[in-house]
Amino acid sequence: MNDMRISERTVDTTKAKIAARKVQVHYGANHALKDVDVDILDKTVTAFIGPSGCGKSTFLRCLNRMNDTIPGCKVTGKITLDAEDIYDPKVDPVQLRAKVGMVFQKPNPFPKSIYDNVAYGPKIHGLTRNKAELDEVVETSLRRAALWGEVKDRLSSPGTGLSGGQQQRLCIARAIATSPEVLLMDEPCSALDPIATAQVEELIDELRSQFSVVIVTHSMQQAARVSQKTAFFHLGYLVEYGETGHIFTNPSDPRTESYISGRIG
């Protein structure tokens, strides 16, 4: 596989799924994210790249309000999902997170069976009416996460007994089981070996047909391989955002160029 292969740039839509305007994030006195404006498109993989501590994960966690759980974190500005302000006081973050799923850096399956891991989301949101429907959701989710073939005979064995790559795909299956509209992935491959990484990347490309996927990554090759749009963050600023091919071949900002060519970061 050519590591610097630029994936097919077929952006099917120009409809913005998530729109962020003037987003500021403060952790206590630390101003972590400054004036971020971005439109994340539907059915597109968007990659956030940038050096450590640049705010890309922070911004990702703003999109499903996971930052609410961090004491001292304050988000200002406006983020809309389908034109609804997700920081509106009337919004229940629990409902939001069912629509905006998340996959974390380290695979974190629940210490329960594979089946229960996937079934948990649909259960708590009441998405299914009976066991047969739930079984179907579990199977579909595991199939879409390309894990069904490997685990279909041991759905009742613990999810923590799988290999790292399988665990991460299980987490993806768990995230898509609630039929989210957006899937956020925070460095989903950083704890995986190259083979598992390739599997997950392939999966991300397939998921694009149903969801808008936002992926934070430290690997520029990965961003180039999986994404159609790329955003480069540096020191809390969104420096450049555009077509992945454009960012990697012809960046307009000198900071982006320095980072991509390995001079900073």
- Sites of contact with other proteins (CB under 8 A): 64, 66, 69, 71, 94-98, 101-104, 106, 108-111, 120-121, 124-125, 160, 171, 174-175, 177-178
CB of 110 to other proteins, least distance (A): 6
Beta carbon nearer to other proteins, 161 or 254: 161
CB of 216 to other proteins, least distance (A): 14
Beta carbon nearer to other proteins, 72 or 262: 72
| E-assigned strand segments in the chain | 16-27, 30-41, 45-49, 73-81, 84-85, 100-103, 182-186, 212-216, 229-234, 237-243
CB of 63 to other proteins, least distance (A): 12
Distance between CA 65 and CA 215 in Å, rounded?
16
Q: For residues 234 and 259, is the Cβ–Cβ distance under 8 A?
A: yes
Distance between CA 237 and CA 23 in Å, rounded?
10
Beta carbon nearer to other proteins, 44 or 64: 64
CB of 96 to other proteins, least distance (A): 8
Beta carbon nearer to other proteins, 120 or 237: 120
Residue linked to tokens 């491959």 = 189
Distance between CA 45 and CA 244 in Å, rounded?
10
